[in-house]
Structure 1
Amino acid sequence: MINWTNAQKGNNMKLNAGIITEKLQETKTFYTEVLDFGVSFENDFYLLLHTPNQSAEISFLQPNHPSQKPIFQTAFSGKGVYITIEVENVDKVYKKLLSKGVGIEIEIRDEPWGDRHFAIKDPNGIGVDIVTYTKPE
């Protein structure tokens, strides 16, 4: 087992989840126009987006691109992935997305474990859980 604490002394580790998809333009439009993400990098087969405060990134890659090895070739099937976006005021974000006509998959609600959240779906079928954490009941 790697001891990442010792292996990374003086270096921070970042995580960037990536989704392989044919829908790069639809994805870019969704994340930039609906969720106010910014574009960190983009070319004809790859899109790297960041959250509005630039604290996190997510990437999208075109399937079967000749520059990529087989492990990065197969397109995401649209099931089994979700992302969570933590915001300061989930009610404000909920109202904003409603006013933009964004489809809501799970209406805003409070959970007994301490989440106030709602969910939408991105163009790739990924559930996007938008949450403000609260104290459990």
Structure 2
Amino acid sequence: MKLNAGIITEKLQETKKFYIEVLDFGVSFENEFYLLLHTPNQSSEISFLQPNHPSQKYIFQSEFSGKGVYFTIEVENIDEVYNDLKSKGVQIEVEIRDEPWGDRHFAIKDPNGIGIDIVTYTKPKE
């Protein structure tokens, strides 16, 4: 089984630019109302869909309201990713920090208001 999460948004082009330029995602597929992106290593995908498109059934019509969703992106080199995003001028919403349960992470937001937690997992402190 494979999961592909999707967000319904008017901001397809802004979203595409953000995920490609900021997070180095690639385009798996796109047309005038649908965008499917993949992570740099192509292990995961996420889709974005234009709201109220006539080709879609009613459950895929309403636009995301901008609250209540977050993504986690796991990386091996958290400090390198953090420094790279800072150098690109990306606004950091949660500064990089170590958590007692073992995460070293920071957070940014995409153009849709989705929080993106970028994390390297480590063993919890004893």
Q: TM-score, normalised by structure 1?
A: 0.91
Distance 1:44 1:90 in 2: 35
Q: Gapped runs of 5+ residues in structure 2? A: none
Alignment-mate amino acid for residue 51 of structure 2: P
Alignment-mate amino acid for residue 49 of structure 1: L
> For residue 18 of structure 2, what is the aligned residue in structure 1?
30
1:50 maps to which of 38, 42, 48: 38
Residue identity (%) = 86
User: Deviation at 1:33?
Assistant: 0.3
Alignment-mate amino acid for residue 118 of structure 1: F
1:89 maps to which of 77, 83, 106: 77
- What pairs with 1:49-88 in structure 2 (closer than 5 Å)? 49-88=37-76
Pairwise CA RMSD:
0.3
1:101 and 2:92 are equivalent in the alignment: no
Moved over 4 A (4+): none
SS of structure 2 residue aligned to 1:58: strand
Distance 2:41 2:77 in 1: 15
Alignment-mate amino acid for residue 69 of structure 1: K
> For residue 19 of structure 1, what is the aligned residue in structure 2?
7
Give the number of the structure whose alpha-carbon radius of gyration is greater: 1
Distance 2:119 2:111 in 1: 20
Q: Gapped runs of 5+ residues in structure 1? A: 1-12
Deviations 1:31-82 (A, max 9, x none): 0000000000000000000000000000000000000000000000000000
Alignment-mate amino acid for residue 123 of structure 2: K
> For residue 4 of structure 1, what is the aligned residue in structure 2?
none
SS of structure 2 residue aligned to 1:120: strand
